[in-house]
Amino acid sequence: MVIPLSGCLGSPSFGNEDCSQLAEDGIALSFDDKGSIESWNGSIEFFEEHGVVATFYVDRWHYLNEEEIVILHRLQDGGHEIGIHTMNHSNYFEFIEAGGDAQSYLEIEVLPSKQIAEEMGFEISTFAYPHGARDVEIDDLLLNHFTVLRGINSYHEGTQSWDTGCEDGGVFRSISPTSGDGKYVDDIIDSIKNSEGNRTILAYGHGIEESGWSPVSFDVLESIIVAAEESGKNWLLMKELGEI
């Protein structure tokens, strides 16, 4: 039996949800931040070996060097997805507190990064909020430019759970196996093993192995991979959650 989770983590529901679009059955892994790109490069062979695809969210596009751009293209060419994480890793709530509004956040932090990425040859369709900071007002604006938005396991309003049977709305929370010194690893694995019907499990990280901020180890990733294999779960790109 899975014990329902509480607090800011949110409680995944395991019954039939009332939704117009059922979830894809699988696991959507994603990783954040320009500072993690080198570690992503060192993980490509690991993902290839295990048949895993993931989504990589990049910020500070105007500061990417040639090597980082090559790595991101290598990831995209290998079947992974590249997504947008703003120009300056800007926290939406702090942006508003400093006198900005949702429209200016879109115009200053989001659309320029999408334009740069597309000019570099990346196929962009999804977005991840820095620090997960979001509300329904900015969601509505961004959904005019992206098919899927990803938050974290806080700020529940207007989102689907990190363990969901629905794809309605296009806005999803995700859970990190490194949060709380790894205390959510077992919750992720239990959800994978005990899910019933078509469910999407969303997990995110930053760096991988021993590089980048708060890195997810290969051992933890392998434990998630083993659970996925035992449960017959597919690996999903974030953009697949927005397909009809």
CATH number at residue 193: 3.20.20.370
Q: How many structural domains are present in the chain?
A: 1
Closest CA relative to residue 133, chosen from 105, 114, 108: 105
- Helices of type H across 88-184: 92-97, 102-105, 111-119, 136-142
Tokens 């993980």 locate to 43
Count of alpha carbons within 13 angstroms of residue 114, beta-carbon side: 15
Identify the domain containing residue 223 by its residue range. Answer: 21-242
pTM of the model: 0.92
Hunting for tokens 């990425």 — which residue is that? 117
So what's the pLDDT on residue 10? 41
The answer to whether 212 touches 39, Cβ cutoff 8 Å, is: yes
Q: Within a domain: residue 11?
A: no
Q: Which of 159, 238, 230 is nearest to 203 (CA)?
A: 238
Residue 161 within any structural domain of the chain: yes
Q: Tell me, yes or no, whether 4 lies in a domain.
A: no
Q: Which residues contact 214 (CB under 8 A, 6 or more apart)?
A: 176, 178, 205, 206, 207
- What's the distance, Cα to Cα, between the start and end of the chain in Å? 32
* pLDDT, tens digit only, all 244 positions of the chain: 233 333 334 434 333 467 899 999 999 999 999 999 999 999 999 999 999 999 999 999 999 999 999 999 999 999 999 999 999 999 999 999 999 999 999 999 999 999 999 999 999 999 999 999 999 999 999 999 999 999 999 999 999 999 999 999 999 999 999 988 788 999 999 999 998 889 999 999 999 997 778 899 999 999 999 999 999 999 999 999 998 7
Residue 5 included in any domain: no
Residue partners of 149: CB distance under 8 A and separation at least 6? 126, 127, 128, 129, 134, 139, 142, 143, 170, 171, 172
- Residue 14 falls within a domain, yes or no? no
The angle at the Cα of 203, spanning 41 to 134, to the nearest 5 degrees, equals 105
In a domain, 15, yes or no: no
Note whether residue 3 is domain-resident.
no
Residue 235: which region, alpha, beta or left (left: phi > 0; alpha: psi -120 to 50)? beta
User: Do the domain assignments include residue 209?
Assistant: yes
Residue 17 confidence (pLDDT): 61
